Amino acid sequence: MRKFCLLAAIIPALLAQQPSDPRELLAKARDLVIARLMRLSDYVCVQTVDRQYFKYLQRVKRLDWSGEQFAPPSCAEIAVFDKENPRDRVLQSTDRLRLELKVSQGTEIGTWAGASQFSSRSVFDLVGGGTYETGTMGTFLGDIFENGTYHYMGEETAGTIKLAAYGYQVPLLSSHYRFKTGSGSTPAAFSGVFWIDSDSLEIRRLRVDANEMPPETGGCEATTTVEYQAVQVGAGEFLLPVRSSMRMVRMDGTETRTTAVYSGCREYRGEATIRFDDAAAPSDVPAAAAPASPLPAGISFSLALTSPIDTDTAAAGDVFTARLREAVHISKEVLAPAGARVEGRIVQMQHSLIQPRQFTISLMLEKIEVHGVASPLYARLSWEAGSTGISVPPLGQSPLVAALVFTTNNSRHIVRAGYQTNWVTVAPPPGTGPAL
């Protein structure tokens, strides 16, 4: 409460006078940003991410001891191709994610949208393959205004709004900007431009350039643009992202374009449920019915979706529900009746645009509810003798993830309610806790 009262006193004082000197304007805007960042860790936002994956068609002749060979273009060559003939860049696939993000100890942490807990699992592990970056929730601004160096670039206008543009640089040792690598993630130095509303002192837009990416990321360069606005959340007003876009070019001749939209920003009151280990949630979390033991391994069962999955709107991170088509039993003992509710999560929503064109929707079961009591459900998609297809989990995902492939030339596919899948239970993975 003391910290909030201090902020309530600081912010009106900062907004009382709008300076005309670029140095004074920057100082007041910085103080306003820092004052708001002090409480940023108390807030969480839903982030919906749409990604597009491109590949450059051109190959470059190179000579080595074995003679002429074709190789992917270098980072410098890609820059030339992109400028001179952008039609050589072909869209190959798209996917979508939906996460909840918050800032903790100066770092962004994430969980699937609607999940009850944040854990120590890296957000990069959570999203699996594909390009992903951190920083947009506020750590970019913290790095820039606590450790950056600046230069004034002049005044611009956006409609009727006057904007002061400032260039900046953040060194590697001060950066929380992280990129995924094969073994985890790594920070990168960055620079760019931010635009300050000369009247309100608000940061309106931010551009982040990482032109010298660490080699272990496999990237040539990345450029991110973030649009911010002051948002009233609870009793306070905070600077939160509205949308962001990123373009990342990789050394293998591929390019990813990402658009993220932020919504549902709210005060986070569940600090007790943030987990920094794999243990069950603390005992001061509101009590719920104790979970029952999971079903024994080796039991086959069939599910039917209770609501459709629409590729136009669904995202990795969304919950899906299904019902048991038949009772699950051992001998004469019924462990779960027909119609029992099963809940799982979409962990991949991908559309491949090269032949054969197809949607890949990957699902993972989480729990089953029997007579009002939920228990963890560990199962994998069953493989039938004589089947021509085998489901392989997406790279980096749990072996319990089931990849469902739908081949179609249509730009949209709806998996109808009632769609059936067959599963078999497995033993709980080592170290699995009882929390649901």
pLDDT above 50 (res 198): yes
Over range 387-414, report the average pLDDT.
Answer: 80
More confident residue, 53 or 40: 53
Task: Give the pLDDT of residue 90.
Answer: 87
Give a yes or no: residue 434 inside a domain: no
Within this chain, do residues 27 and 75 fall inside the same structural domain, yes or no?
A: yes
What's the pLDDT band for 21 if we cut at 50, 70, 90? confident
- Residue 10 covered by a domain: no
- Read off the amino acid at residue 318: D
Residue 435 lies in a domain: no
253 and 344 inside one domain: no
Residue 2 in any domain: the answer is: no
Confidence band for 271, pLDDT divided at 50, 70 and 90: very low
Residue 392 pLDDT > 80: no
Count of domains observed in the chain: 2
Q: Inform me whether the pLDDT recorded for 232 exceeds 80.
A: no
User: Sorting pLDDT into bands at 50, 70 and 90, what band is 138?
Assistant: confident
Q: Is residue 224 part of a domain?
A: yes
In whole angstroms, give the CA distance from residue 220 to residue 216: 11
Looking at the structure, tell me whether residues 341 and 248 fall in a common domain. Answer: no
Report yes or no on 281 lying in a domain: no
Say if strands 420-425 and 300-305 run parallel, antiparallel, or are unpaired: antiparallel
**What is the rounded average pLDDT for all residues in the chain?**
81
Is pTM beyond 0.85 here?
A: no
pLDDT band for 257, please (50, 70, 90 cuts). very high
CATH number of the domain that residue 43 is part of: 2.50.20
318 plus 229 within the same structural domain: no
pLDDT recorded at residue 368: 96
Q: Are the beta carbons of 76 and 88 closer than 8 angstroms?
A: no
Q: Is residue 283 part of a domain?
A: no
Same domain, residue pair 259 and 311? no
Helix/strand/coil (H/E/C) assignment for every residue in the chain: CHHHHHHHHHHHHHHCCCCCCHHHHHHHHHHHHHHHHCCHHHEEEEEEEEEEEEEECCCEEEEECCEEEEECCCHHHHHHHHHHCHHHEEEEEEEEEEEEEEEECCEEEEEECCCCCECCCCHHHHHCCCCCECCCCCHHHHHHHHHCEEEEEEEEEECCEEEEEEEEEECHHHCCCEEEECCEEEECCEEEEEEEECCCCCEEEEEEEECCCCHHHCEEEEEEEEEEEEEEECCEEEEEEEEEEEEEEECCCEEEEEEEEEEEEEECCCHHHECCCCCCCCCCCCCCCCCCCCCCCCCEEEEEECCCEECCCCCECCEEEEEECCCEEECCEEEECCCCEEEEEEEEEEEECCCCCEEEEEEEEEEEEECCEEEECCEEECCCCCCCCCCCCCCCCCCCCEEEEEECCCCCCEECCCCEEEEEECCCCCCCCCCC
Mean pLDDT of 253-257: 87
Domain match, 336 and 268 both = no
> Do 264 and 315 sit in the same domain of this protein?
no
- Mean pLDDT, rounded, for 264-268: 80
Please give the share of the chain, as a percent, with pLDDT higher than 90. Answer: 45
386 lies in some domain: yes
Q: Are strands 328-330 and 219-233 parallel, antiparallel or unpaired?
A: unpaired
Where b means 16+ CB within 10 Å and e means fewer, 386-411 reads eeeeebebbeebeebbbbbeeeeeee
Alpha-carbon span 6 to 264, nearest angstrom? 26
169 and 312 housed in the same domain: no
Shared-domain flag, residues 313 and 407: yes
The CATH number for 314's domain is: 2.40.128
> 268 and 305: one domain?
no
Integer Cα distance of 193 and 224 in angstroms:
11
Which of 273, 308, 340 is a domain's end point? Answer: 273
The answer to whether residues 82 and 211 belong to one domain is yes
From residue 24, give the alpha-carbon distance in Å to each of 147, 164, 178: 18, 12, 31
pLDDT more than 70, % of the chain:
77
Q: Is 133 in the same domain as 203?
A: yes
| Low-confidence winner among 67-76, 119-128, 238-247, 396-405 (lowest mean pLDDT) | 67-76
Can you give the residue range of the structural domain that contains 357?
Answer: 300-425
